[in-house]
Chain A
Amino acid sequence: MTTKLLTALLLGTSILGSAGVAYAEDVTLNIESWRGDDLTIWKDKLIPAFEAKNPGIKVVFAPSAPTEYDAALGAKLTAGSAGDLITCRPFDKSLVLYQKGNLADLSALPGMENFSPVAKSAWQTDDGKATFCVPMASVIHGFIYNKDAFDKLGIKVPTTNEEFYAALDKIKADGTYIPMAMGTKDLWEAATMGYQNIGPNYWKGEEGRQALIKGEQKLTDADWVEPYKELAKWKPYLGDGFEAQTYPDSQNLFTLGRAAIYPAGSWEIALFNTQAQFKMGAFPPPVQKAGDTCYISDHTDIGMGLNAASKNADAAKKFLSWVASPDFATIYANALPGFFSLNNTPVKMEDPLAQEFVSWRGKCKSTIRSTYQILGRGTPNLENETWVESANVINGTDTPEAAAKKLQDGLDSWYKPAK
């Protein structure tokens, strides 16, 4: 039903779009995307804002289903029928497109200077020389908590590890709430909301991540094992039967008000705002000692590139420069709370929870998930293994040291860092 509606809508827009070309000789740009959910935001907010400033350029947002996007895009690029603008997945999927010559080099695009190197890392060649997509949004990790529960139990928002465990102990002793809503059934929760959430504080964000890629550090080093030791301590604070608790179970436990703390990604904000009946707050991963520099996972998730075969490259570049501007960032970040603009200019957002998340960028250092760039390529796949091992550590079936050793052994079997 939705698909049909979507197809009808798309047909409608594409016919209207081509009609525009025929009569007004406007340039029409087509955007390829997997974000069908964002269709109304593009149609009602983003595209009109751009078109008002750039008469003569029409833009059509043409999404396909997320599971079909990569295959469909590949086929369209080969056939030469792909849109002018291409929404980029992070890291290797887009890198492959660039290497095949499907994506144009945008290093010199006006507006690119608005982004930090970390923001651009998802869409750069390994040597960082060419950037081929404009970063659009990232997701930030942290903890969302039930403010009502914290107030009732008189708990202060924890900033250090010690305070964090003290808070958990207090919630557990009280017994009204499950201290932390997380399960290990779906594996990725343990890795993404656990290991990658608290880890950057230990491996010092980018410093550790780059060292790992260069081969100067190993996953068996103390900085990388320490987060696993912390995860192992989480077990007693999770709900009964957390081993069989799935991701939607965790979300429901928290939004129903049965759990006090939820290890989160900022993409949850929109859903939680509509479902939770209590006040919510958020805090960044606690640091080891008061005064330590804090690091957050600010993971690049979505970008936009230029189809190298586009006939309207100039208009498309104009559009991409606009995507790189603070104007776009403001509209986008407010329409999709939880997907944060990567622009250096701070964006004013209405949603208080989203504001809280994004405020950490000011006081903490940003990094991306350690297993994605370059290290996420081979077999056995480091990201997938991290899912499995993180769940093992929380379940108590593997010690932190054993888990780290398995990951490093798997990585060593195919990854030879450049000397």
Chain B
Amino acid sequence: MAAETRPKRPIRWHIAVFLAPAVLVYTAIMILPLAGTLQLSLFRNIEQSQVFVGLANFRTLFGDPNWSAGFWNALRNNVWFFIIHMLVQNPIGVLLAALLSSPRLRFAAFYRTAIFVPTILSFVIVGFAWKLILSPLWGVAPHLLDLVGLKSLFTPWLGKEEYALTALSLISVWQFVGIPMMLIYAALLSIPDEVIEAAECDGITGMAQFWKIKLPLILPSIGIISILTFVGNFNAFDLIYTAQGALAGPNYSTDILGTFLYRAFFGFQLQIGDPNMGAAIATMMFLIILGGVCVYLFLIQTRLRRYQF
């Protein structure tokens, strides 16, 4: 029987069939538009027809001082936007998660929900609500500061070049701090009790337990959160647009890549949109994000130690 040749394997159609819906949908709504954008960035509208111009749009973007100044300004602002998120949002997220997972905390479910709620709010609501809160005329911020005798600290943050971007970053942190909190919270809960008990037997408790046992175990989650923050920040647009408008004032100090792209692509007021230059900017955003994700995947993720229980 052993010598009998095995019947030829039938073609496994079911694999293709089961993959098809996802592949088709993903191709249609993600890959094709992406390819379309990349293609658009290589063309230019000359006398009502699209002409292939190679990398000329990119040369304009980086060579023409008017475009390149705008681009580098937007990129710089975007990096600052990201730094604030990494330095404020994620540590606070970890801290909140650590507090929430403490067994002695009462009303943990309530806090968890309350902190997470802003995440599901629309950008438009968040933008307008904060604009009102910080309004020097009708806002509660000057009044509240007055109550504690710190009225002198109040300035119209959203209208000052030096503060506007930081203020907006912090608003965004307020809105999204729920996401790292939830992810880290889930990671903390998944640490088996045996590990914690073993640590306690070895006399590691309290803060030392957090630093030496829990933190290394949640590092992969922190990595994932960092990369999510990176992608989210470099794609950001909505908050700036609702709070500061498409010109991202004052003096472009809150202009990030998203708003820069918007103005180039769709135009604004008298400025007529230029889809080709817009696509060139979109391509640069894609490359920046791709680069960042690659750095993470190949340099950081592979070095993170994983623990199997």
A residues at B contact (CB < 8 Å)? 91-92, 183-188, 239-246, 249, 252-253, 371-372, 376-377, 379-384, 387-388, 391-392, 395, 397-398, 410, 413
Contact = CB atoms under 8 A, between A and B. Distances in A.
Interface string B156-171: 1111110000000000
Contacts of B249: 184-187, 388, 391
A108 B138 CA distance: 55
A183 B159 CA distance: 9
A269 to B, nearest CB: 23
B62 interface: no
Contacts of B156: 185, 241-245
A388 B137 contact: no
Interface string B250-283: 1110000000000100001111101001000000
Contact of B137 (A253, A372, A384): A253
B173 interface: no
Contacts of B161: 395, 397
A384 B247 contact: yes
Contact of A397 (B137, B251, B271): B251
Contacts of A372: 270
A92 B250 contact: no
B53 to A, nearest CB: 16
Contacts, number: 107
A413 B68 CA distance: 13
B159 A185 contact: yes
A380 B271 CA distance: 8
Interface string B64-89: 11100000000000000000000000
Contact of B272 (A92, A242, A398): A92
Closest 5 CB pairs of A and B: A241-B136, A243-B159, A244-B156, A244-B159, A381-B271
B66 A391 contact: no
A244 B277 CA distance: 31
A10 B65 CA distance: 50
Q: Which of B142, B154, B251 has the most CB of A within 10 A?
A: B251
A121 to B, nearest CB: 15
A410 B142 CA distance: 39
Nearest to A386: B270
Nearest to B247: A187
B245 interface: yes
B134 interface: yes
A240 B250 CA distance: 17
Contact of A249 (B137, B154, B247): B137
Interface in B126-172: 131, 134-138, 142, 154-161
A69 B263 CA distance: 19
Contact of A381 (B137, B154, B251, B269): B269
A376 B270 contact: yes
Q: Which of A252, A371, A387 has the most CB of B within 10 A?
A: A387
B247 A387 contact: yes
Interface string B89-116: 0000000000000000000000000000
25 contacts: A92-B272, A183-B159, A184-B159, A185-B158, A186-B245, A240-B136, A241-B135, A241-B136, A242-B156, A243-B159, A243-B160, A245-B136, A245-B137, A246-B135, A249-B138, A253-B137, A379-B274, A381-B270, A381-B271, A388-B247, A391-B249, A395-B161, A395-B250, A397-B250, A397-B251
Contact of B66 (A371, A387, A413): A413
B251 A244 contact: no
B135 A244 contact: yes
Contacts of A249: 135, 137-138
Interface of B: 64-66, 131, 134-138, 142, 154-161, 245, 247, 249-252, 263, 268-272, 274, 277
A244 to B, nearest CB: 3
B251 A383 contact: no
Contact of B269 (A239, A241, A242, A384): A384
Contact of A392 (B65, B135, B155, B251): B251
Nearest to A258: B137
B244 to A, nearest CB: 8
Contacts of A187: 245, 247, 249-250
Nearest to A389: B251
A255 to B, nearest CB: 13
B270 A384 contact: yes
A361 to B, nearest CB: 25
Contacts of A387: 247, 269
Contacts of B160: 243-244
A392 B250 contact: yes
A240 B268 CA distance: 29
A371 B270 contact: yes
A90 B249 CA distance: 26
A185 B157 CA distance: 11
Contacts of A379: 66, 271, 274, 277
A377 B246 CA distance: 18
B270 A391 contact: no
B305 to A, nearest CB: 48
Given A92-B272, A187-B245, A376-B270, A242 B251 contact: no
B243 to A, nearest CB: 10
B270 A92 contact: yes
